[in-house]
């Protein structure tokens, strides 16, 4: 018996955490065993790598180092948490995965999709989600949801970073376009309950 691997991804503030909570509750109500996890992180080693990735002390960190660290964290996560849970027949719901590294560092960043794809493949040993949800949202809306729309935060989210996040959005859409059998793009500019209903419908159609 093997479980199903569901990933929720998309730009910042698109509603990943909100939808994962709703989905996990709905699955548990149907008596599924559910493992909710996230990247980067999900194991003690991966959480230490996450701390390094988020540490503002190292502005010199190169994009390649960053990808290697995300993927080191992912390798440990796949081996220690995701595969064993799937082998035990559990539903695994993961906040971000390989798609995020492709969108941020590969598509919007300087490294290119080919390189990021190949490092991802090494990290995951070929493990891919059975179902990837890309919660598609204008990043200006996502960042406003996260930081509010007062003037101070408007300054913080300057046009340059908004341009980067728009590229990230395109990166997620491209990632999904290249994997149509495993990916579903959901319009995330809707209310949370309607998005949840769309997700549940896809899960039952695609995973039974």
Confirm or reject binding of residue 153 to Mg ion (CB under 5 A): no
* Least Å from the CB of residue 195 to ligand ATP: 6
Among 6, 14, 67, 119, binds ligand ATP (CB under 6 A): 14
Among 88, 192, 201, 204, binds ligand ATP (CB under 6 A): 192
Are 183 and 135 in contact, with CB atoms under 8 Å apart?
A: no
Structure-block tokens of residue 50: 């996450």
- Sole window of 125-133, 154-162, 178-186, 191-199 interacting with ligand ATP (rule: CB under 6 A): 191-199
Among 114, 159, 181, 191, binds ligand ATP (CB under 6 A): 191
CA of residue 175 relative to chain centroid, distance: 12
Confirm or reject binding of residue 17 to Mg ion (CB under 5 A): yes
Which sign does the torsion angle of CA 102, 104, 110, 111 carry? negative
Count of residues of this chain found to bind ligand ATP when the rule CB under 6 A is applied: 12
Query: Residue with structure tokens 């849970």?
Result: 85
Q: Judged by CB, which is closer to ligand ATP: 70, or 86?
A: 70
x/- mask, ligand ATP, residues 139-158, rule CB under 6 A, reads ------xx------------
Strand-by-strand arrangement of the 34-38 sheet:
34-38, 91-95, 5-9, 131-136, 183-187
Are 26 and 140 in contact, with CB atoms under 8 Å apart?
A: no
* Least Å from the CB of residue 125 to ligand ATP: 26
* Least Å from the CB of residue 133 to ligand ATP: 11
| Best CA proximity match to 2, nearest among 109, 65, 92 | 92
């Amino acid at each position: 018996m093997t479980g199903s691997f569901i990933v929720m991804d998309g730009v910042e503030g698109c509603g990943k955490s909100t939808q994962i909570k709703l989905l996990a509750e709905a699955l548990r109500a149907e008596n599924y065993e559910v493992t909710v996890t996230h990247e980067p992180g999900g194991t003690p080693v991966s959480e230490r790598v996450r701390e390094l990735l988020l540490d503002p002390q190292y502005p010199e960190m190169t994009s390649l180092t960053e990808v290697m660290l995300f993927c080191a964290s992912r390798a440990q996560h796949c081996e220690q948490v995701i595969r064993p849970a799937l082998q035990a027949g559990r539903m695994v719901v993961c906040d971000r995965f390989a798609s995020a590294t492709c969108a941020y560092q590969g598509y919007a960043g300087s490294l290119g999709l080919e390189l990021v794809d190949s490092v991802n493949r090494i990290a995951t040993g070929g493990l891919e989600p059975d179902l990837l949800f890309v919660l598609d949202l204008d990043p200006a809306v996502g960042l406003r949801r996260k930081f509010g729309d007062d003037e101070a935060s408007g300054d913080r989210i300057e046009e340059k970073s908004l341009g980067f996040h728009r590229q990230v959005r395109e990166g997620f859409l491209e990632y999904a376009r290249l994997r149509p059998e495993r990916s579903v793009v959901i319009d995330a500019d809707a209310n949370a309950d309607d998005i949840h209903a769309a997700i549940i419908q896809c899960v039952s159609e695609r995973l039974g």
